[in-house]
């Protein structure tokens, strides 16, 4: 059985990217705290680099949506 899709005022494809950006940014903020643990500092730095790259990709997708006129409320 398929779950109903969440209704938003933007297309679902835009919402999904916005939500992913938000989640990644929250993770980046958490890494600031986790890096205080010097035992795993290198791990958190590596994960931060990966998430920064992911955020950049997601923001590029949002730019493409904007250029295509998909960032308007419906």
Structure tokens at 67: 């250029």
Task: Spell out, as residue ranges, where the chain has pLDDT lower than 70.
Answer: 1-7
Does a structural domain hold residue 33? yes
| Predicted structure pTM score | 0.81
Q: For position 32, what pLDDT does the model report?
A: 85
Task: Give the C-alpha separation, 23 to 26, whole Å.
Answer: 5
Collapse the DSSP code of 29 into the 3-class scheme (helix H, G, I; strand E, B; otherwise coil) and give the result.
Answer: helix
Q: Containing domain of residue 45, as a range?
A: 12-67
Does a structural domain hold residue 2? no
Please give the tally of structural domains in the chain: 1
Does a structural domain hold residue 30? yes
């Amino acid at each position: 059985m398929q779950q109903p899709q969440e209704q938003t005022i933007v297309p679902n494809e835009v919402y999904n990217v916005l939500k992913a950006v938000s989640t990644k940014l929250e993770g980046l903020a958490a890494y600031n705290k986790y890096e205080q643990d010097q035992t795993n500092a290198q791990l958190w730095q590596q994960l931060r680099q990966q998430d920064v790259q992911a955020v950049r990709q997601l923001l590029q997708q949002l730019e493409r949506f904007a250029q295509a006129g998909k960032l308007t409320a419906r």
